[in-house]
Amino acid sequence: MTLPLDDREGFAAFLLRLRGRGAVPKALIAAFEATPRRGFLSGQFHSFAWSDGMLPIECGEAIEGADLQAAVIAALAIEPGNRVLEIGTGSGYTAAVMSRLAARIVTIDRYKTLTEQARQRFEALAIGNVVARQADGSNGLANEGPFDRIVAWAAFDSLPRFLLDQLSSGGIVIAPIGPEEGEQVVAKLTKVGSRFEREDIGIVRLQPILRSVAAVI
């Protein structure tokens, strides 16, 4: 897919920022380029699509900056046969990008509105390897593992050890860990036997993981 002319400048600036931080896998760049980011945002935010700042979406939520999304997806090191669980569908953009790298994505969100909008976007882009559903992601998706990769876009207050059982051997979890108020650390947790090896890859301020699904929206 070719980006529209007025979008290419923003995408080029995004790539320059990424390359300034180190090598960027070609497959990841291709996945971002093939996924029209503007289609996941309200019209008034199109000119900011490739910015590094968070942008509002429905249900009082926000889409993370493009740079953070790229850093997290790169750290997941998704391989073609991987099965991925995403906790926090949001706009659906990151699931759409990852769908071009993995075999199958299961993406869950507590908001029915976000889940349904994401489904419509996947259908419009003919993305067939993503399953989106409304679910409580605070404990992962225990009945559907193991997954090769798990990514959460909301913060846990402590190390989510319960996700070990939902990971395949050598699998990777990336999740923000820290207090509800203030900064959290983005941790990359690799399953080694019955434990995690931890590598911290950044600092964020994201909303805490919430239990249960939203009753109305």
Please check whether residue 217 lies inside any domain of the structure. no
Helix (H, G, I), strand (E, B) or coil at 13: helix
Give the mean model confidence (pLDDT) for residues 210-217.
86
- Computed over every residue of the chain, the mean pLDDT equals 94
Please check whether residue 188 lies inside any domain of the structure. yes
Give the mean model confidence (pLDDT) for residues 106-127.
98
What pLDDT does residue 5 have?
A: 61
Give the mean model confidence (pLDDT) for residues 116-136.
97
Please check whether residue 34 lies inside any domain of the structure. yes
With a pLDDT cut of 70, the percent of the chain lying above it is 97
CA 162 distance to own-chain centroid: 20
How far is 159 from 66, CA to CA, in rounded Å? 25
Residue 18's domain comprises 5-204
Q: What is the pLDDT confidence band of residue 145, given thresholds at 50, 70 and 90?
A: confident
* Number of domains making up the chain: 1
Query: Burial of 19 by CB count in 10 Å (0-12 exposed, 13-18 middle, 19+ buried)?
Result: exposed
What pLDDT does residue 216 have?
A: 77
What pLDDT does residue 212 have?
A: 86
pLDDT of 1 above 60: no
**The domain spanning residue 24 has which CATH number?**
3.40.50.150
What pLDDT does residue 78 have?
A: 98
What pLDDT does residue 22 have?
A: 87
With a pLDDT cut of 90, the percent of the chain lying above it is 88
Q: What is the pLDDT confidence band of residue 206, given thresholds at 50, 70 and 90?
A: very high
Query: Burial of 23 by CB count in 10 Å (0-12 exposed, 13-18 middle, 19+ buried)?
Result: exposed
Q: Which of 178, 125, 128, 147 is nearest to 78 (CA)?
A: 147
How far is 104 from 118, CA to CA, in rounded Å? 15
The more confidently predicted of residues 76 and 1 is 76
Contacts of 25 (CB under 8 A, 6+ apart): 74
What pLDDT does residue 127 have?
A: 98
pLDDT of 63 above 80: yes
- pTM of structure: 0.95
Q: What is the pLDDT confidence band of residue 217, given thresholds at 50, 70 and 90?
A: confident
Contacts of 152 (CB under 8 A, 6+ apart): 86, 87, 88, 137, 160, 173, 174, 175, 176, 209
